[in-house]
Amino acid sequence: MSDPDRPRVRGVVLAGGRSTRFGDADKAVATFEGRPLVASVVDAVAAATEEPPLLSVATDDQAERLRNALDGRDVEPVRDDPSLSGPLAGLAAAAAATDAQWLFACACDMPLVSPEGIDALRTRLAETDASGACVDAVVPVVDDYDQPLHALYRRSALDDALDHLAPGDALLTLLDGLAVERVAGDADDDAGAALAEATTNVNTREELAALRERDPTR
């Protein structure tokens, strides 16, 4: 999407995890709706942001496997920052790899990520900017839980906050150092319903099977 009145956003697909709860397979390449999970997420993120997504990976071997699964899709792999762990390592690497004003970050195991869900966050950001408020992150809240793995982050504020974190810190700790605008995932509201759907993630084979069973065509 291109709109001169909207801030530039670059997507980040966080794919450096070890899939420990998914058995002996890499869940990023497990299929949903005929595509690897990582491909579903990359397609949605690419459709809703201005540049090819960044793809955070832990190793060169992982980068190669994911590139094969992405079948020519345009992404820029970045290596996780070794000074941090988990999703924070991927966010740090992404923030260092781009000069985009904002990052949209999501996990590779969220097969229902959609352009509509991303646009709901971008719309809230535009509304907040118009009101004169300054925020560092726009984060969905679903079932009373923050969803920092499907969120917008101001890159400069993200850099500053990450500088104060240490290996082993949890992702939610990041939000403590940011001015956060929270968006309710409310099934009675179209935008909120899109967010509630989009933040669905799969950690186990059983969760992926259950998601497929919601619609037999998947």
Q: Are 105 and 153 in contact (CB under 8 A)?
A: yes
Residue whose entry in the numeric block shows the structure tokens 């065509």: 217
Give the tens place of pLDDT for each residue, 41-82. 999 999 999 899 999 999 999 999 999 999 999 999 999 999
Q: Given this model, what pLDDT does residue 18 score?
A: 66
- DSSP strands (E only) in 80-208: 102-107, 137-142, 145-146, 150-154, 180-184
Rounded CA gap, 211 and 206, in Å? Answer: 9
Q: Tell me the two tokens of residue 119.
A: 């646009």
Q: Which ranges in 1-56 belong to alpha helices (H)? A: 37-48
pTM of the model: 0.90
Q: What is the pLDDT of residue 104?
A: 98
Cβ burial of 3 (10 Å; 0-12, 13-18, 19+) is exposed
Q: Report the chain's terminal Cα–Cα distance, integer Å.
A: 27
- 147: Cβ–Cβ under 8 A, 6 or more apart, which residues? 139, 140, 141, 185, 195, 199
Identify which of 156, 155, 69, 53 has the alpha carbon closest to the alpha carbon of residue 107.
53
Placement of tokens 């909207």 in the chain: 6
Confidence of residue 218 (pLDDT cuts 50, 70, 90): very low
pLDDT at 14 over 70: yes
User: Tokens for 10?
Assistant: 């670059």
- pLDDT digits 0-9 by tens, 156-170: 999 999 999 998 899
